[in-house]
Amino acid sequence: MKNSNPEPIKGVLNKLTITDLDIKGKRLFVRADFNVPLDEDLNITDDRRIRSTLPTINYAIDEGAKIILSSHLGRPKGKVEPKYSLGPVAKRLQRLLKKEVTFLPDCIGPEVEKAVSEMREGDVVLLENLRFHPGEEKNDEEFSKALSKIADYHINDAFGASHRAHASIVGIAKFLTSAAGFLLRKEIEYLQGVVNSPVRPFVALLGGAKVSGKIGVLGNLQDKVDKVIVGGGMAFTFLKAMGHPVGDSLVENEMLNLAKDIIDKMKAKGIKFYLPVDCVVSQTIEPGAETKIVPVQEIPNGWKALDIGPASVRLFAEALGNAKTILWNGPMGVFEIDAFSRGTFAIARAVSDAYALTIVGGGDTDLAVTRAGISPESISFISTGGGASLQLLEGKDLPGIAALTDKP
């Protein structure tokens, strides 16, 4: 059963937000994160990132602003590549907003300036992919200035890109008053809030492939959590550091001493630290490959661990049982392949059933929740940012947040 009051503990955002501005009749340059997955026919396969920005867009429409939407998609590396066009996003936005969205063929230049000058209150346009210009990723001043020419205010609602010092995130804020949209504010409230003042017991559940990607998070959380659960490929670096044979499982040998240090520090602070006790092993990462379930101390040579086993699921679910705050970042195994998905999906169900504030983010964790058949409504908050959420959980400033205009 879910917590009947899954409200975030507020993070501190001493920056302007969209509600602090008088936007009626004003041109808003809204930086969104529409970097959505597309299939081979360029159909959007998951539109959650588009839907996440709708509250900001609808508020701006209702307040009578002129909304100029922008985003990147993929990695075109400063060149025009049709497969990375935002055309499919314009169509999906039109359906979701139930109003016309004018799609412009570029993001700067006379044609864009003319189209924007003809906008009326409540109109919505979408600019073409910002990364078709090399100046976007280089945070080029001239490109930033060109973007700023078409707007009165800059609204950052692209949390998933806010760890990047790019022109549409950071550079443009030198020329325009810059405020957070509703999604950006919500991400900060949940992610910073849970780290600053969690309701206890606070459990961090970390997975994914590599320890190196989560070291900063573990370091920042070690004074704040009550329990740490580690699964996924990264668990086997910890297990090897404790002297267990791990067969051909993924291990970062250069991280072994650091992993041992983390275990020792957690124990010294009285933090309960959980690792898998059994795992699903195979000789190849392929559908249909032979698998076995073995204790972690008995992984055969030539075999690799690719999922947590049923005893680990029970152990981890029990550890989550009394949590009041759960932060989950990273899957428990190679869940994209059916034979190695059961551990991740079982943990997804345990998190969704917990009587706690539950925050999911980073890597493929949100995809794992969807694949497990979990309704997004049964998770308190699902972050839209991978690298951005990790940096925030590490206690680092994000360039896109730092660039926002300070509150007076």
Question: Which residues are part of the catalytic machinery?
Answer: 49, 210, 363, 387
CA distance 181 to 356: 27
Question: CA 254 to CA 262: how far, in whole Å?
Answer: 14
CA separation, residue 363 to residues 45, 139, 328 (Å)? 17, 25, 10
Locate the DSSP E strands across 262-390. 272-274, 278-282, 291-295, 304-308, 325-329, 357-360, 381-382
Q: What's the distance, CA 239 to chain centroid? A: 27
Query: Phi and psi at residue 311, in whole multiples of 5°?
Result: -65, -35
353 class by beta-carbon count within 10 Å (0-12 exposed, 13-18 middle, 19+ buried): middle
Write the single-letter amino acid at 300.
Answer: P
Compute CA distances 256 → 5, 221, 227, 234, 259, whole Å: 41, 20, 21, 11, 5
The answer to whether 339 touches 360, Cβ cutoff 8 Å, is no
Q: Which token pair is 176?
A: 């325009």
**Mutual angle of helices 48-62 and 182-196, in 10-degree steps:** 120
Sheet containing 357-360: which strands, arranged edge to edge? Answer: 272-274, 227-230, 202-206, 325-329, 357-360, 381-382
Q: Distance between CA 231 and CA 239 in Å, rounded?
A: 11
**What does the alpha-carbon distance between residue 173 and residue 176 come to, in Å, rounded to a whole number?**
5
Binning the chain into helix, strand and coil, the percentages to the nearest 5 are 40, 15, 45
CB-CB neighbours of 195 under 10 Å: 22
Residue entry with tokens 């806010």: 162
Tokens 């992993």 correspond to: 259
Q: How many CA atoms lie within 13 A of 219 on its CB side?
A: 15
